[in-house]
Amino acid sequence: MGIESSWMFDLFGTVFPVVFVLIIGIVLLSMGKEVWRWGRNNSEPLLTVPSRITSRRMKMSQSQSEPGSTARTLYYVTFEVESGDRLEFKVNGEEYGLCAEGDEGRLSFKGTRYVGFERYNRVYSERLRG
């Protein structure tokens, strides 16, 4: 009986700390990645370029817990710039509601962070097209 219980405590004493350190390491690594991305975006210049909205999408997720369920919706808008490149940004729900496919205007962004979109009025857009 003494040998069996010693083996269990030895296994728990070695495996538990390794798993604990591994979990803490993963959490710290993901936090560090977010801080690094935030810093990189802050060091980027603010760019404002002519663009057109090509698509919008929503990503909904739901988690269920004992008291009830919670739903979360993420909103994304894709812009096409003059060079033909497409850039997708996460936006808030209010901004998403104001965007329509085909809208043209000036996109402002900083790194991978969306700053804003200023629409051209319809008369101005039609004059640009000729």
Question: Residue 6: its pLDDT value, please?
Answer: 64
User: Is residue 1 predicted with pLDDT exceeding 60?
Assistant: no
Residue 44 DSSP code: S
Structure confidence by residue, pLDDT tens digits, 86-124: 999 999 999 999 999 999 999 999 988 999 999 987 655
Cβ within 8 Å of residue 25, ≥6 positions away? none
- Write down the domain spans for the chain: 1-43, 45-129
Identify the CATH assignment for 45-129 out of 2.60.40.1080, 3.40.50.300, 3.40.50.2000, 2.40.50.660. 2.40.50.660
For residue 40, pLDDT beyond 90: no
39 or 115, higher pLDDT: 115
* CA neighbor of 50 nearest in space, from 111, 130, 124: 124
| pTM score above 0.75 | no
